Structure 1
Amino acid sequence: MDRQTLSALAHADHPIAAPLSEASVAEVLDRALRPDAHVLDLGCGEGAWLLRALEVRPDVTAVGVDLSDKGFGRTRAAAARSGAADRLDLVVADATQYRGDRPADVVLSVGSAHAFGGLLPTLAAARTHLADTGTVVIGDGFWEREPGPDLRAEIEAPDQPYADLAGTIAAVSADGWTPVYGHVSTIEEWDDYEFSWTGSLARWALDHPDDPDAKHALEASAEHRDMWLGYRGVLGFVTLVLRRTG
């Protein structure tokens, strides 16, 4: 099973591909969006953040960019049902190479920092798309508690280490950004997200025992569950709403 299909199945019950509740997503978007905003999501997945932005603000336009179009059909259909289809464009492309035809008032990149090489490279990419007075919404991991060496090696890419929350915000601030809002995912949000991720994938495998990918999906679910239980309460996730500092 390819990674995009596995991810689409795992997020069937939690389309926001990050440990945030629907209420938290709504609050973050409310802090970030202005009237008539043009929103760009770099690494949009199926476009769940954009769909919620369109539902919250009837004057918003949105573009989502992702390597895979898995879930795009569902998102376009949902936008059509809500009357927002003409305000949404979903593009299959490498978000690190994408160049839009207009500046974005809001650039989203939640849970996609690995694709850009880490938190600060993601902000550098967002800056190239951002209008002068624009806002960035970025979500990434941090260490709630100091991890053991084995867990650190399992979770972190060698060139993308995590800091603690204070270190994360200090790095963002030193890079020329001012947080104007932030949300730290709660343990309840983490549990809901991870149980949904592993459970949706496992349920699909159990419902399709004759599918050649069923065994792999069930193994991937169990492997991810074991990893999550190892980092539960140690790995955190913060979503920051940022403006450029001067």
Structure 2
Amino acid sequence: MIWDNRMRGSGKATVLVGILGSLLLGCSAEQAVRKNEMPAVSRMQEPAEYRIQPGDELDIKFFYTPELNQTVTVRPDGKVSLQLIDEVEAAGLTPAELDGRITPRYAKEVKEPAITVAVKTFAGRKVYVGGEVGKPGLLDLQPGMTALQAVINAGGFLNTAKPEAALVVRTAITQAPTPIRINLSQAVNGEATRGDMPLQSQDIVYVPKTFIAEANVFVDQYIRGLLMFNG
């Protein structure tokens, strides 16, 4: 109950600061990538395999011993409590990796622990859309959402927008934020496999007025400005 109350207490401002803060830490962790090294999207990228996050609700099912079936929520500390084997670290793992981690432990308790792990509900998956769009701000990340779909959900392009110069800023916990150039004009014109890309949790989609030459410098300044504005 304590964990549930803490989960419900986080608001949109906290989520935004978390997204931008993690990006800013990445900026200070590594030197900016030179502009000629910045990746660009030439075809639709495959979405990364989903990794479990705090607040996700998981279905743990046993084929031969259904009495052990559980639905559990990942706590803010990233762990879940399971019957017979107690606490297990779940956050950061794929469902298959969690399956592989708990199966050997259950093998000591039950015969033939054929287990499946599935994410029942997703929690806290957000992206931020900014720049020349109708309603800049946070959006819930829906399964399969692309950069163009996020822009549409954020009110679409303004007349001042330059969709062909859009950026997706992506981060990982141990890496600096990576700006990826995308040509959303191609996606608008029906070339979705060339100009669009699927989003991940905590991505930032930015639609500028003009082409951004020094994208890495811009990313650092833009993130700092958003943190100051929302602080």
Return the TM-score normalized by structure 1.
0.23
**The structure with more helix, counted as a fraction of residues:** 1
Return the TM-score normalized by structure 2.
0.24
